[in-house]
Amino acid sequence: MPIRVTHSTTMSDKTSQEILPSDHFLSLPRPDPFISPGVSLADGPDLEGIIDTTTLAAHDFDVDTRTGFMPPDPPVRRLPEQWEPWEAALQKAMHDRLQLAVKENITDAERQVSHRWRLEVRELPTIPIQDLTASEVLLRRAHHVLTFIMHFYIHTLPLTAPVVIPASIGVPLLKVSRHLQLPPVATYSDTVLYNWELKRAPSTREMETESEWACALDLDNMKSQDLFTGTRDEEEFFLSSARIELRGVEALELMRASMDEIFVGDDIAVRRITSYLSHLAGVVHALTSLLMDVRKGCDPDVFYHRVRPWFCGQDSDPAERKWRFEGIDEFENDVEEPKNLSGPSAGQSALIHALDVFLGLDNCKSDTSTTPTSGKADPRTLLRRMQIYMPRHHRAFLRHLSANPRPIRDFVQTKTPELVEAYNQAVGAVKGFRDAHIRIVALYIIGPASRERTGGERHLKGTGGTQLSQFLKGVRDNTADALLQ
């Protein structure tokens, strides 16, 4: 059955697709100070200019006081009619249950279904994106749809075939990615932040007050919009991260309150910060529990063999192929082939990075065994590289935290033993979170890999392209080293 373009749009979809006014912060120019000026698309999004970071106002950084780094309203469910061919291609891929090329015992019939779908994708028109650029929410949906199509296309290709992304999806994806200042590959924001909807819409009464509306977006009232496999395991994997994002809102508020008190700096402020840091440790412990809860709905072998391969980027390609974008030579300014093509990773979440920056963990000295002088990548460098894959406003948020003239770690070291103890509780909680992450990785990736082949752990990479076990243990050890004596 060919890709069928439909034109049905619900009233709620129409409402969420309204074009933002020109003076809305999401429609303003897109400078980003995280990466130095002059970076090309080959190295990452072109990020020139300086953002005003004189205020901590949440709207400057697309951080909602109720939902944190998650958008407060469900993301756009479908693009307007002009871009319906993309939506139809994605829907057909999911409907036809396309199978991974690496699937064991894949049948000829399954290969043919994928082959026909890829042919239809190659025959799609190359649709202009100019009318999308006035709306941040539509650009996000376009990036989500196009990257999902691209990953479906690449990971159903025979392993002996070169990876050439058709111009029909590659050219608009490169343009959308340039506007969003994101790499042209699926990211954490595509699979988690902007890939959810409500199971139950809020009632009229719930919408009457902000606090009650926020209750509608609770930890158990979400489902994923789009999935590669359609399995509960994949959905639970995505939603596990979404729940952590929502629970982490309290951590963001505690950070803000602590920073406010540091500016006061008197004895009352010290007592308040002590309380805030102790409370922050409890919130991080709750995040750890949510992380471990992924085991309730996501089977490790299903995840490793059926779900995870869809996420892989160029640096985790099973055949180690270079991904080439057809039509890139038609761009002005001699755009080079993108190099940042790692897949989505929980390490691309701004929440945990924010904890690192706030507590000063990102500036703590690494053990020499994990520095480049020993031939191994510094975990701090790899963490910063992951920020390239974050929405640009979230990068700006982290940049602003990093520029804080009164770091809390420095403040704590000059004050009371009780404050030092509370700080160490928070750092210890972050270490505990990373210990749990290592256990999850062992269960979901290293274990299945070792059962599949001898020495599976040795060369494993995360979907974000990092040498997995070494990287996670290095980050965890750096966190432990940050405890104050």
In the block, tokens 């309380």 appear at: 275
Helix, strand and coil percent figures for the chain, each rounded to 5? 60, 5, 40
Tokens encoding 323: 């991904």
CB contact at 8 A, 346 and 287: no
From CA 235, how far away is CA 299, in angstroms rounded? 11
CA R_g for the chain = 22
With beta carbons less than 8 A apart as the criterion, state whether 355 and 284 touch. yes
Distance (Å, rounded) from C-alpha 225 to C-alpha 175?
A: 24
Distance, in Å, from the CA atom of 25 to the CA atom of 454, rounded to the nearest integer, reads 52
Amino acid at 289: S
The one-character DSSP state at 29 is: -
Amino acid identity, position 218 = D
Structure-block tokens of residue 39: 């970076």
Tell whether residue 437 is among the known ligand binding residues.
Answer: yes
Asked whether 35 and 44 are in contact (CB, 8 A), the reply is yes
Helices (H), 360-416: 379-386, 392-402, 408-413
Taking residue 432's Cβ as centre, other Cβ atoms within 10 Å add up to 17
The DSSP bridge pattern shows strands 222-224 and 163-165 to be unpaired
Residue with tokens 């982290």: 398
What whole-number distance in Å separates Cα of residue 475 and Cα of residue 378?
Answer: 9
User: What is the H or E stretch that residue 188 is in?
Assistant: helix 188-188
d(CA 396, CA 409): 21
- Residue given tokens 């995360």 in the structure block: 462
What CA–CA distance (Å, rounded) separates 50 from 30? 9
Residue 185 tokens, joined: 């590959």
Q: Tokens 């209750």 map to which residue?
A: 215
Q: Are 288 and 352 a contacting pair, CB within 8 Å?
A: no
Contact in structure between 148 and 343 (CB atoms under 8 Å) = no
- Angle, CA 175 vertex, CA 195 and CA 226 arms, to 5°: 15
Least Cα distance to 449 among 300, 307, 236 occurs for 300
Residues 6+ apart with CB under 8 A from 77: 10, 12, 13, 16, 197, 225
The two three-digit tokens of residue 376, written as one number: 């191994």
Residues flagged as binding site for heme b: 437
Residues flagged as binding site: 437
